[in-house]
Structure 1
């Protein structure tokens, strides 16, 4: 049969039909598993939707092109794990739209950067990267500290996430603006409403060092500081694939 390909090549209609069949088979193989994706992602304790401030910071991260040089995907290889930490779990990105996995690493992988450095270090790094990493070729983002974060669309952002499957509750959407401001309050209580809605491990405080303003720098650092911190890998045990739903 493979020797008869000239029949397709000489008749454009049969060639188009053949291409359509082959592409359709390939499309089904790639697309069909997506309908069962919820049953293939292992549920991991601790993984939660982003807080309003973290979500806003993630938008800034993407908008400034940070994903172009930093992946968030630690592969299950010895050298990767020894350098960056536990390999990335699919569940850690289950609320990302789009996820930040990839292979591009002009800079280091950021999947486990949360809590690795202080807020002050991040401010200095974003203001003047070479002041803390002399070999860095990252451009400065000092202007983020001079730009107030737009809070008007935060509820709309959460509603958009709900539309694509992120399980924000009506209470979280309703209090989005309040939670946004509560996360940058350095005097917030550990029993604050923010933590009751998003969990006790939410980082609160003045991220950019300027308590007088809520800036884009606050949001970006809040996002960076939670990367890789939701799952407690001291107690995490991978589930047997045979037991996955």
Structure 2
């Protein structure tokens, strides 16, 4: 009886083998089959993009990354942090209970590249902004095991002594504008000054940051030092804004536990 059940499968595989063998003997037939398969796969991937306007939510309060936060994002990518930390909370109940409202597409519309990820050696960071103090973030980045003994995260204490490159920030923002991030001419022209101003409260530069990015912008000495702008300032500024570019998820999703 078992052999009887297997006969249809055996015939199918035999037919498939014969067809494949014949195709391999005729290069044009094989090429046509490859083009057909690639075309079907391409349409499956491309077709959903035609409905993208109806898929991405509208968030009128969505703001851009400041130059300092964008520099911190670049450092986050440079150091490979995305390999261990995702930035996408799925709709599963346990994830929502642990991390907060599930991620919306609109929250990543200005991310190039997106850092959703699927590997979580460490926790998801989509809503880590302001969950911990700046001091905690600096100490954790400098010596993770001093705060979390079981952590396997590398140390990033060198970021405290690394001066942030601000000269390239106008070009970085201009490049992002070419792919759809709506930075204004004023934001691009003042990128280097705004990066300094965000880490130097009570200065004229800080006033410029508020004027260009809004009064809710985090302006403070993120690494605790005011003598220079470090890469630690940038990375902490980036971490502290994650989940805070728009409050749409909190407004449209029920509180945890309900």
Q: Give the structure-1-normalised TM-score.
A: 0.90
The match for 1:176 among 181, 191, 203 is 191
Shift of residue 4, structure 1, vs aligned partner: 5.5
Match of 1:89 in 2: 104
Structure 1 segment 206-217 matched on structure 2, within 5 A:
206-217=221-232
Task: Establish whether residue 44 from structure 1 lines up as the match of residue 59 from structure 2.
Answer: yes
TM-superposed CA distance for 1:222, in Å, is 0.2
Match of 2:127 among 112, 115, 127: 112
- Matched residue SS, 1:226: coil
Report the CA distance between 1:235 and its aligned residue: 5.9
SS in 1 for 2:240: helix
8 Å CA contact 1:86, 1:233 repeated in 2: no
Give the equivalent residue in structure 2 for 1:243: none
The alpha-carbon distance between structure 1 residues 181 and 86, as it changes in their structure 2 partners (threshold 3 A), is same
Residue from 161, 165, 168 that aligns with 2:180: 165
TM-score by structure 2 length?
0.86
Provide closer, same or farther for how the CA distance between residues 61 and 206 of structure 1 changes in structure 2, counting only shifts above 3 A: same
Aligned partner of 2:167 among 122, 140, 152: 152
> Are residues 35 and 196 of structure 1, via their aligned partners in 2, closer, same or farther at CA, if it must alter by over 3 Å?
farther
Greater per-residue helix proportion: 2
Provide the aligned length of Structure 1 versus Structure 2: 236
Q: Does the residue aligned with 1:192 lie in a helix, a strand or coil?
A: helix
Q: 1:220 aligns with which of 232, 235, 239?
A: 235
After superposing the two structures, state which structure 1 stretch, 37-46 or 135-144, moved more: 37-46
Q: Are residues 123 and 235 of structure 1, via their aligned partners in 2, closer, same or farther at CA, if it must alter by over 3 Å?
A: closer
Aligned to 2:153: 138
User: Aligned partners of 1:153 and 1:112: how far apart in 2?
Assistant: 28
Aligned: 1:75 with 2:112: no
8 Å contact from structure 2 (residues 85, 124) kept in 1 = yes
Counterparts of residues 47-58 of structure 1 (less than 5 Å): 47-58=62-73
Q: Find the counterpart in structure 2 of residue 9 from structure 1.
A: 21
Could you tell me which runs of 5 or more consecutive residues in structure 2 were left unpaired when the two chains were aligned. 1-11, 254-258
Aligned residue in 2 for 1:123: 138
Aligned mates of 1:91, 1:221 — CA distance in 2? 23
| 1:236 match: secondary structure | helix
Matches of 1:116 and 1:40 in 2, distance apart? 29
Report the equivalent of 1:241: none
